[in-house]
Structure 1
Amino acid sequence: MKVIVVAGTRPNFMKVAPLMWELARRPAVEPFLIHTGQHYDQRMSRLFFEELNIPSPDVDLGVGSGTHASQTAEVLKRIEPVLVDWKPDVVMVVGDVNSTLAAALAAVKLGIPVAHVEAGLRSFDRTMPEEINRILTDAISRFLFVSERSGVENLRREGISGEQVVLVGNVMIDTLLACRRRSEGSPILADLGLSSRPYAVLTLHRPANVENPNVFRGLMEAIERLGQALPIVFPVHPRTRAVLDGTRATSNHNLILTEPLGYLDFMKLLANARLVLTDSGGIQEETTVLGVACVTLRENTERPVTVEQGTNVLAGLEPKRIVAAGLDALERPLRQERIPELWDGQAAGRIVDVLTADSAHVL
């Protein structure tokens, strides 16, 4: 059974890692990895392949940066001849980035079944490009592998149900649990002088947050006020760096700016944080499993299980609400929440089990 796995961005790499590990263990499966090149530099791409033991891509499409339309179009153009040449039985896509939708669309137009890992997640906010990618990818996929119960219900409401929808758990948590021991060996806390001090972690990358000057200014105002309570480590995404430089945030002594971190360093930083402030979907999931208080800098989340069972609080974008949520989290002892259903490190195995069991129908 020939399976093509497609990845394009940093969040994708943590999702494809356990899938590639699992596919390599199955003698009846021949895996083939395509990197679209949507993220391409050392810190956003190559370092993750090295740290997560992901095999070198069989093909790198080299798409690079660009608008949503240009990225999607370039992936479509460049991946089609690869699919025609290799003739896979299944194309597996993960997450909700432009590479996900483009690869799925190219495959389905060639009559190749698509498997979508992390299907069914919905923020119900169609101003988010990721939401459009999620809805469209789910609509054309043959296999819908779901990470939490809300995804099953969302797909059912959209008229997608039955055997093609399977709750399998969370592949990002597969990676987290598999790498936990190695990440504890990271020297990042000592390097930042935080070995014996409480600290918070901040991540910001969504265009709606960093490219709107009024929104970004308000977020930085809230971060400055929370920084009076404890230092805040801020690994800066390249998109955010472009708007951060020249602002007074760069001279805030309580805000520790770093370059984007590798997976092991970042997991060590996250696991030992007193508080995390983020607009990332995946970090909401990781903090839930790690038992770390998370304040999400968005008005919605496509991962409601992190709010229902985890430590995640939706604070929105209003500075006073963010500060109040952060201070409240710091005052409360951490709750010991139960880990969401099937977030046990075995999601990739379940996914490959379904594909191989269904291979007679696929082939």
Structure 2
Amino acid sequence: MHVPDGFIDAPTSAVAGVIAAGALAVGLRGARRELGGTGGERTAPLAGLVAAFIFAVQMLNFPVAAGTSGHLLGGALAAILVGPCTGIVCVSVVLLLQGVLFADGGLTALGVNITDMAIVTTVVAYAVFRGLVKVLPRSRRSVTAASFVAALLSVPAAALAFTLLYWIGGTTDVAIGKVATAMIGVHLLIGVGEAAITALTVGAVIAVRPDLVYGARGLTRKLKLRIGGELVDAPAVQPVTVPATPRSHRKLWITGLVTSFVLAGFVSFYASASPDGLERVAADKGIDQKAEEHAAADSPLADYGVEDVDDARLSGGLAGVIGVGVTAVAGSAVFWAVRRRRTHDVSPTSVDAATGPNTSV
């Protein structure tokens, strides 16, 4: 659903850019809390990996109808794995690199794409996810099921958001009702693929490291006692203060990164070549009449191929590997800086004020 230049007029794109910038500022501030709270020291390294994984899976277009394909948007997956604010930043990093390096998604439309694919999908998905987790039994299966539904609904929500932006600032005269029907219809089908990928990924991570999944925090049930035929909460037990050795996340990180390299470098060659949902609707309804050439069309990695490499399989594979590597480094750097800023914000003065004076001799 990467919107190219020329679909949305300049004033609307500028407003979307302001919205995107404001949301990113809020996202970075919220990410400091998500990466700095309980479990944050484990989530921070995962955030850069999530961005790289989303980049890789977005290269895997899957068929959804005759002559139409879809790909992962990633907002739901990022929100559930690393938190909604961190998730917005994750997807935004991916979209920025795709636009600048791979000529995928217009540069003047970057604000539109971040608003649509990063903000709307993440906010909608996490709101649905939290609502379902509250009413479902507190279990790992419930988290996976809630992930499926949240991801499923996030994709047509993004399609609806694009339709609204097109209604406000579309550059061609097309009946908005036809656009809405076509966009929501095809993206409901794409949502099924998004839901399957999201649920499988979340379920796989929960199976091996539930402590790393933001949406699975606090899943432990309260101990119940039966007294007089009724179940009541057992009294809280004071935990024993034994120094805990944090579990290493290295194995998961390496496995995830290798998987991302394989998906982008090899499996992507077998992805569907059909236009995605937005491209199909744009061609069928005439939305693309004023589409503009991408400003980075001469990039050596444009269209996910390496310039001067004639073999299509090798060219696409190298581009995918480069993309995953750059995204992993860029994403990790951003979240390392966010985490470091959070650590520095906790000054010795504030710690002393919270813990009281040091009375040791």
What TM-score results when the alignment is normalised by the length of structure 2? 0.27
Higher share of residues assigned helix: 2
Higher share of residues assigned strand: 1
What TM-score results when the alignment is normalised by the length of structure 1? 0.27
